[in-house]
Amino acid sequence: MFGCVLRKTCWKRNAARRGVCTRQPAPRVRFAPSPTGFLHLGGLRTALYNYLFAKQRGGTFILRLEDTDRTRLVPGAADAIEDMLDWAGIPPDESSRRGGDYGPYVQSERLPLYSQAAASLLQTGHAYCCFCSNQRLDLLKREAQRSGHVPRYDNRCRQLRPEQVRQKLAQGAPHAVRFKLDAGAEPFRDAVFGWTRHEVAAVEGDLVILKADGFPTYHLASVVDDHHMRVSHVLRGSEWLISTAKHLQLFHALRWTPPAYAHLPLLLDRDGSKLSKRQGHIFVQRFREQGVLPEALLDIITHAGSGFDDNRIGRRLDELIREFNISKITTHSALLDLDKLDEFNRVHLQHRIEDEEKCAALRDELRQHVLHTHGSQISDPAVLEPQYIQRVLQLRKGHICSLRELLNHTYAYLWIRPRVTRQQLQEVSAEAGNIVAAVIQLVASGGSFRSAEHLNAELKTIASRLNNTKYSGVMRVLRLALSAQQQGPSVAEMMLSLGGQEVCVRLQKALEH
């Protein structure tokens, strides 16, 4: 277990043992996105690492929506975030949708808790009312920028006398609540970055914890929620590392035990630049629409970073859970090469095809795609039968990166009978008629359709009996007759996919045209 403070639960052994045993309770972790946008790859990586940490230790994974920034909320984003976690196979145990013992799980529904915490801090002298107008705060910011300094609040309202505060409150003056930052921040141990210390009071003014509209800022809300939801470990992006010093001061002022912290390094593009959100290129929903498998997406974002003893392609979710090691997470940014996503998808698609239950779902999905894409052109309904689609998938596994590849022009022959004439075949080889007749006879006599190797051997035998056509010529004739194409899988695989009866139908039709 990592962290700044570790919560422990003790069980007393029986008297005969005369001892006390201390063990860690199951952890409670949270993924707390803001529904000001849709789930992107960086958020998915944070959610995944929380999920892995919890599931490895029999803990609880919480989805909490931090919607206190009311001006930037995106309609539908809250539901879409949980939808994408479900699709990715890492659903929360507790959430607004699923419920739980520590809800509500949406911050805008927890406002009384934040007001109570702010009131407690005011009462103990750790916070004060700030009556500064937005105009004054903007002026402070512009003056700091003009002089080349970092903008910060000057803590003016901290100096107000109690009677001045009471007078302004009696007059109904709008105000925020600010937390008094202490000088000389204590160091804390982060599980990734080690011992860390940030003198926030030296570079920042006292922070707003409750806005004039009654909504909390992130700092107060996250601390209050982590306490009331009994969050034991916080795994979040490294952009929050400096803010942790503020959060620890809030915990101590409220006399609450803080969770342990682990800040995850940034997820960057392969060249070290930020992942671009333009045109939705990094949003999880876009990858789903493109036919990317969720397990491939999880695999590539863990492969890009650290947290595992080795970096290999093809880890399933159960393997990610088993092999995750938080002590292996490094401080340097994770570089994500999305150009390799096809390779990850190919590997995981093969895994699905080899899994009987998952392959059944693939068959149904592919059937729907084929009907949608080629429905009016399908001449033989047998291509929609489960056995046929299963055969296609088994023969193409390891070669395709997505089911959608089987819908493009290269594979149209699988679903649509081509229109090829005898003349076209004879332009490839004058012996085309003999070739076609020999293959039909091979199929009719129960020729070997056991494997591509056996079938290739039979086809080579046919080629050896011809006078003027080499084996490669025989392949070109058959490829053209079966698919009307010059490229694609091997002829033997084409024949195995189509099946003996359909092979004969297509060859016979080509001779008759």
**Distance (Å, rounded) from C-alpha 258 to C-alpha 249?**
10
Q: What is the pLDDT of residues 235-247, one digit of tens each?
A: 999 999 999 999 9
- Let me know the angle formed at the C-alpha of 438 by 434 and 441, rounded to the nearest 5 degrees: 140
Of 21 and 100, the one with more pLDDT: 100
**Distance (Å, rounded) from C-alpha 160 to C-alpha 156?**
8
Nearest to 440 by CA among 492, 388, 501, 484: 501
Please, are residues 196 and 188 in contact by the beta-carbon 8 Å criterion? yes
Q: For residue 6, is pLDDT > 50?
A: no
**Distance (Å, rounded) from C-alpha 356 to C-alpha 25?**
37
Give the pLDDT mean for 295-302.
Answer: 96
**pLDDT for the residue numbered 418:** 94
- Concatenated DSSP letters for 99-157? B-TT---BGGG-HHHHHHHHHHHHHTTSEEEE---HHHHHHHHHHHHHTT-------GG
Reduced to 3 states (helix: H, G, I; strand: E, B; else coil), residue 268 is strand
Please, are residues 474 and 466 in contact by the beta-carbon 8 Å criterion? yes
Q: Residues of the chain with pLDDT > 70: what percent?
A: 95
- Let me know the angle formed at the C-alpha of 16 by 12 and 21, rounded to the nearest 5 degrees: 25
> If you ran DSSP here, which 8-state letter would residue 290 be given?
T
Q: What is the pLDDT of residues 360-386, one digit of tens each?
A: 999 999 999 999 999 999 989 999 999
**Distance (Å, rounded) from C-alpha 78 to C-alpha 63?**
10
Nearest to 364 by CA among 389, 347, 394, 397: 389
**Distance (Å, rounded) from C-alpha 306 to C-alpha 328?**
6
Nearest to 250 by CA among 212, 205, 209: 209
Q: Whole-model pTM?
A: 0.89
What value does the CA radius of gyration of the chain take, rounded to a whole number of Å?
32
Backbone phi and psi for residue 203, each to the nearest 5 degrees, phi listed first: -120, -10
Q: Residues of the chain with pLDDT > 90: what percent?
A: 86
441: part of which helix (H) or strand (E)?
helix 432-444
Residue at token pair 């930052």:
181
**Distance (Å, rounded) from C-alpha 513 to C-alpha 508?**
9
Within 10 angstroms of residue 135's Cβ, the number of other Cβ atoms is: 8
336: part of which helix (H) or strand (E)?
strand 334-336
Backbone phi and psi for residue 264, each to the nearest 5 degrees, phi listed first: -85, 135
Strand partners, 274: 268
Please, are residues 63 and 43 in contact by the beta-carbon 8 Å criterion? no
Burial of 38 (0-12, 13-18, 19+ CB in 10 A): buried
Q: Which pairs from 434-440 meet CB under 8 Å and 24+ separation? A: 434/466, 435/462, 435/466, 435/469, 435/474, 435/477, 435/478, 436/477, 436/481, 436/507, 436/508, 436/510, 436/511, 437/511, 438/462, 438/465, 439/478, 439/503, 439/507, 440/504, 440/507, 440/508
pLDDT band at 2 (very low <50, low <70, confident <90, very high): low
Phi-psi region of 3 (alpha: psi -120 to 50; beta: other; left: phi over 0): left
> If you ran DSSP here, which 8-state letter would residue 334 be given?
E
Give the pLDDT mean for 76-99.
Answer: 97
**pLDDT for the residue numbered 277:** 63
Of 18 and 348, the one with more pLDDT: 348
Instruction: Tell me what the pLDDT averaged over the chain comes to.
Output: 92
Nearest to 48 by CA among 310, 354, 329: 329
Strand partners, 23: 9
**Distance (Å, rounded) from C-alpha 331 to C-alpha 340?**
23
**Distance (Å, rounded) from C-alpha 9 to C-alpha 398?**
49
**pLDDT for the residue numbered 327:** 94
Cα dihedral 288→306→218→120 (10° resolution): 140
**Distance (Å, rounded) from C-alpha 259 to C-alpha 194?**
15
pLDDT band at 513 (very low <50, low <70, confident <90, very high): confident
